[in-house]
Amino acid sequence: MSTAALATETARRRTFAVISHPDAGKSTLTEALALHARVIAEAGAIHGKAGRRATVSDWMEMEKARGISVSSTALQFEYESCVINLVDTPGHSDFSEDTYRVLTAVDAAVMLIDAAKGLEPQTLKLFQVCRHRGIPVITVINKWDRPGRAPLELLDEIVDRIGLTPTPLYLPVGSAGDFRGLLRRGPDGLPAEYIRFTRTAGGATIAPEESLAVADAAEREDEAWTTAAEESELLSATGQDHDQELFLAGHTSPVIYASAMLNFGVRQLLETLTRLAPAPGPRIDVGDRPRPVTDPFSAVVFKVQAGMDSAHRDRLAFMRIVSGEFERGMVVTHAQTGRPFATKYALTVFGRERSTVDTAYPGDVVGLVNATALAPGDTLYVERKVQFPPIPSFAPEHFATIRAASQGKYKQFRRAIDQLDAERVVQVLRNDARGDAAPVLAAVGPMQFEVVTARLHTEFSVETRLEPLAYTIARRTDAGSAGELDRQRGVEVFTRTDGVVLALFSDKWRLQYITKELPHLTLEPLVAAAD
């Protein structure tokens, strides 16, 4: 493919993640976007969580049972002239490490805010990750069909708590709980159009829209329209109109009010993404050099996942293409080992649905089948060597030993633990004293342990016993310090699968005491989940 053709294909891509606090409606929004792109005929979320079918992006039995996403899922579809790569992320803070890995693979983020609750802790943490990585953010204030707070109050909270200037592209007509439609703001911030929605049964199909001129909107909606128009003018007076440069620089955020459950405002979000979100650009390698999108093929693995389909005992490595054209069957080099890697089996994934992909371009997310040699953070390339920075592991705060309930299942148990470790579902720690029969699991949050035991049961038919350990803090150390640390009360030293030596402490006071009494020992903080 010519450089010009490659640049054209790249410019069509929009790769983004949906981030929010749990239960803000991420998976529902994901399905609503797919519905508006006409890649599914009917949304899976109906009449709230009690009567809800599992969404197409939730494939794990645990996700279906709880109505939450605990694993990121990549969906690809076309909308108008663009190719959308949408990565739905876990919302629960216990899985923030998985969300962080996803955010290394996207060019933009949609920050979903509950209209009644406003900014919540997990949303704040994930926004800080976006800010740190320079990822521009589009804000969606969701659930406007339910009682909630005032529109401008929510905007003020965004300014006050995260220092981001919201620039609404659309304002709601009707208060929270009385969602009638959207006022589209023009480039000057003045009302330009009224988009009126009509509800459908359970929000399972696309909500019909009616476009009205400003004069007709004022006559139709009276006070509700007047209020929205006055709010739009007030925002213009305070400089809260969209500026593309400020948005891409991370200083402002376009805002849309919506109801993902009713499919109100979803088309407007899709059009905003295609029009304003950035196309893929150069990525910085470990030598601090940019890799242009028109360079020969390179990609970063950001997630490894098995068990997505009980009929296929395979493991998928999701890679984000950074540069060049990918062709199925091409032999690439695995930067971490220098070994060749064949890409005969390459897929795009839509929930549980798989489709073979023959070609892909920068920004696309492709799943490589049976990629047992790959781990999150690995680099693949052809021709000119490149390696991108690794994805850090978060500091674990919860620890437990795990062992097979039956000795007859020991080999299956070992194989399963190694697989979940490679996927980074959880960190696996070992030392000589405990042996391989009872490795220690280290997690950011306790729900990660539930995922491990559930997958061991469903995918490997291995029942396990989990025993919590009384450690709360981990520090990186080295072989020279390990022996002396192991002799201290309330401390135990382990080696992580990647070779990192970790010292676990019972509490912060024990850590403080040892740091003071033995200052010559190596004890380095790990990346915290809130960083």
Q: What is the pLDDT of residues 403-441, one digit of tens each?
A: 999 988 999 999 889 888 888 888 999 999 998 889 999
CA distance 276 to 247: 9
What pLDDT does residue 120 have? 86
State the amino acid at position 343 in one-letter form.
T
CB 376 within 8 A of CB 302: yes
pLDDT band at 30 (very low <50, low <70, confident <90, very high): confident
Sketch out the chain's domains with CATH numbers.
16-71+107-276 (3.40.50.300), 283-381 (2.40.30.10), 398-517 (3.30.70.3280)
CA distance 127 to 250: 11
Tell me the average pLDDT across 493-501.
Answer: 93
CA distance 318 to 483: 39
Lowest-pLDDT range, 69-78, 270-279, 334-343?
A: 69-78
CA distance 73 to 87: 6
Q: Is 90 annotated as a binding residue?
A: yes
Taking 80 as the threshold, does the pLDDT of residue 306 lie above it? Answer: no
Q: Is 67 annotated as a binding residue?
A: no
Tell me the average pLDDT across 162-168.
Answer: 95
Mean of pLDDT over the chain? 87
What pLDDT does residue 178 have? 95
CA distance 341 to 99: 27
pLDDT in tens, 209-234: 999 999 999 999 999 999 999 999 99
Distance separating the N- and C-terminal Cα atoms of the chain: 41
CB 13 within 8 A of CB 79: no
Helices of type H across 22-105: 26-36, 61-66, 96-103
| 3 state DSSP class of 427 | strand
Q: Is 89 annotated as a binding residue?
A: yes
CB 66 within 8 A of CB 59: no
Which DSSP helix (H) or strand (E) runs through 16? strand 13-19
Q: Is 348 annotated as a binding residue?
A: no
The structure tokens listed for 461 are 């038919």
| 3 state DSSP class of 193 | strand
CA distance 369 to 144: 41
Q: Count the Cβ atoms, other than its own, within 10 Å of residue 208.
A: 11
pLDDT band at 68 (very low <50, low <70, confident <90, very high): very low
Lowest-pLDDT range, 266-275, 324-333, 457-466, 511-520?
A: 457-466
State the amino acid at position 68 in one-letter form.
I
Taking 50 as the threshold, does the pLDDT of residue 56 lie above it? Answer: no
pLDDT band at 49 (very low <50, low <70, confident <90, very high): very low
pLDDT in tens, 381-396: 999 999 999 887 778 8
Lowest-pLDDT range, 162-176, 366-380, 494-508?
A: 366-380
Q: Which has more pLDDT, 95 or 501?
A: 501
Lowest-pLDDT range, 16-20, 24-28, 410-414?
A: 24-28
In Å, how far are 12, 266, 482 from 260, measured between CA atoms? 25, 7, 52
What pLDDT does residue 61 have? 54
DSSP 8-state code for residue 389: P
Q: Is 88 annotated as a binding residue?
A: yes
